[in-house]
Amino acid sequence: MKRSLDHIIIGGLIGMLVPIITLFGYYVFTYRSQTSFSGFLEYFTGRRIIVPVISLCCIANLLVFFLFIWSNRNQSARGVIVATMIYALWVVYQKYLA
């Protein structure tokens, strides 16, 4: 079972999903009674703060990365690093080039 989860693609997929799940969790605990999820995203997009919010949600990848390292799933940890770099490149593109 351990080796089946130790793959760079598994880590990459988890690394791409964790910030989205974190953003949804933030919505559920703070804005659910005020607006819908699409309204929540439109509000942040309209105020041009969606990029900093997504970059803060990537901090949750740190927890996933260390869980993979502590359980000796080094290939999955590499996948999380790759996913985090993809998010970082997207944030840099959105902040400075778009």
> pTM for this structure?
0.86
Report pLDDT digits (tens) over 22-36: 999 999 998 888 889
- Give the pLDDT band (50/70/90) at residue 97: confident
| Dist CA 82 CA 9 (whole Å) | 10
Side chain identity, residue 46: G
* Angle value at C-alpha 77, between 18 and 85, nearest 5 degrees: 65
DSSP states along 36-92 = -HHHHHHHHHHTT-HHHHHHHHTTHHHHHHHHHHHTT-HHHHHHHHHHHHHHHHHHH
Q: Residue 11's domain spans which residues?
A: 3-97
Number of domains in the chain: 1
Report pLDDT digits (tens) over 79-96: 999 999 999 999 999 989
Q: With 70 as the cut, is the pLDDT of residue 57 above it?
A: yes
